[in-house]
Amino acid sequence: MARIKIGENQEKREKESYVNGKVSFNPRQLAKWSSVYGIIGHHSAIEICSWTKKALREEGTCYKNIFYGVDTHRCAQISPAAAWCQQACIFCWRPHEWYSRTSLLPDEVDKPAEIIEETVRVRKKLLSGFGGNKAVDKQLFHEAYDLFPSHWAISLSGEPTIYPLLPELILELRKHKEVRSIFVVSNGQEPQVFERMAEMDALPTQLYISVDACNERMFKYVNRSIYEDGWQRLLRTLHDVLPKLRTRRVIRYTLIKGINDANFGEDEECMKAYADLFDKSEADYIEVKAYMFLGQSRQRLSIENMPTHEEVREWAKKLLSFLPNYEWHNEHAPSRIVLLKRKDSPYDDYIRGPRAEDSLKGQK
């Protein structure tokens, strides 16, 4: 089904450029990146999610609104390192023209306040056309356009932990009273970044770690880290770091039919390995989500690799049979996603503020 070879992640990567002393997009590729995203400053990007557009037209809201109460129409989905990633996951629908570096220096990147200010400006530009759309609710558009974004999803493209001022970015966002939730989605390849975030009291409202393999061989095939010890880095994040972090923690698993599905749950050894990885992380939530046949991933996978929502539900039930500390909690069929929750999680689902402790059970 998959049209890809193990080791393909070793191909030579492009070099980034520098503009006014700041790391930036390679001019040869800038036009392509600009056609996909709104470019922010020298190295960041934003996109208006399809669910934000649907919310403005009152056609439904995203699963993050259903599960956690975030404001879909007031979301800013960004990346502070849009073209840099340590992996080349076969299911990623983003452009795979990642640059060679896996670390950037603080003095060669835009400051957090600059990224936030420019994000708001570019986001308004991208939203401006919706104001004249008769299908758009005027009050929702006012809130989306005129108010400061209440939800910040640092997850768009690339790997956010490569941006060296990620903790400072979160602290800067917290200064804005309108911000109610900050999500960071990571591949877990830089566990020391999460430790630094904890030391600086700069953890996001919700931290996602993507886990898409039950063993090292599958990890090398599916996630294709450029690090020789990529699997060990992920294990350190899951087992040594994540359990100690005092924030809402989520495992994001992307189900790729025929690739990482453990023979659709029949491979008991692999399913037990998944359960062991997830349980030892002590994550508050596990999101089991379908691979979607979109974007650049269509060059590497086929539509047969995309499971239906019913297949996601069936697989999640099989996984749950190996996870006595978790329970079935929610689902969102349009997104083909199932939510499992740890039985002893101290958090309410509904997010009430940018710090995780704002949503502790019993808080008002």
- How far is residue 359's CA from residue 364's CA, in Å, rounded to a whole number? 8
**Does some domain include residue 7?**
no
**Number of structural domains found in the chain:** 1
DSSP symbols for 276-323: HHHHHHT-SEEEEEE----GGGGGTS-GGG---HHHHHHHHHHHHTT-
pLDDT tens-place values along the chain, 364 residues long: 444 444 444 456 677 888 889 999 888 778 878 888 999 999 999 999 999 999 999 999 999 999 999 999 999 999 999 989 999 999 998 766 677 788 899 999 999 999 999 999 999 999 999 988 999 999 999 999 999 999 999 998 899 999 999 999 999 999 999 999 999 999 999 999 999 999 999 999 999 999 999 999 999 999 999 999 999 999 999 999 999 999 999 999 999 999 999 898 789 999 999 999 999 999 999 999 999 998 788 888 999 999 999 999 999 999 999 999 999 999 999 999 999 999 999 999 999 999 999 999 987 6
The CATH number of residue 305's host domain is: 3.20.20.70
**Does some domain include residue 5?**
no
**Does some domain include residue 247?**
yes
Q: Which amino acid is at 296?
A: Q
**Does some domain include residue 9?**
no
**Does some domain include residue 203?**
yes
pTM above the 0.85 mark? yes
**Does some domain include residue 1?**
no
List beta partners, residue 253. Answer: 288
- How far is residue 105's CA from residue 266's CA, in Å, rounded to a whole number? 46
**Does some domain include residue 10?**
no
Q: Which amino acid is at 134?
A: K
**Does some domain include residue 53?**
yes
In terms of C-beta density within 10 A (0-12 exposed, 13-18 middle, 19 or more buried), how is residue 198 classed? middle
Q: Range of 185's domain?
A: 15-359
- Number of neighbours of residue 292 by Cβ within 10 angstroms: 16
